[in-house]
């Protein structure tokens, strides 16, 4: 299991289009991937799950992955967040 904390910096947080990019990226990996905020954990490959966390600018979330490509998965998702989802 591999984890990393990241802070959301883009203006709209993890809603609509950024969340879609996030889920598409998560689905590229074989590992189980979760997002945790305020002790709630959801599947990072589920749009409704991710949106239900209400992640806004300034939130710190934990990315958790478990599987054969866990480090690559967390690095890719953290990179997407750091680059403001390409916006």
Verify whether residue 10 is a known catalytic residue: no
Q: How far apart are alpha carbons 70 and 76 in whole angstroms?
A: 10
Q: How far apart are alpha carbons 82 and 84 in whole angstroms?
A: 5
Bridge partners (DSSP) listed for residue 42: 35
Q: HSE-up of 62 (CA within 13 Å, CB side)?
A: 12
Residue 47 near residue 23 (C-beta atoms within 8 A): yes
Catalytic residue among 12, 15, 21, 72: 15
Catalytic residue ranges: 15
């Amino acid at each position: 299991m591999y984890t990393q904390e990241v802070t959301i910096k883009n203006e709209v947080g993890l809603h609509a289009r950024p969340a879609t990019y996030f889920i598409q990226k998560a689905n590229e990996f074989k590992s189980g991937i979760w997002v945790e905020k305020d002790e709630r954990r959801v599947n990072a490959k589920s749009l409704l799950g991710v949106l239900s966390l209400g992640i806004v600018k300034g939130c710190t979330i934990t990315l958790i992955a478990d599987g054969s490509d866990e480090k690559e998965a967390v690095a890719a998702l953290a990179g997407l967040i750091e680059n403001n989802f390409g916006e």
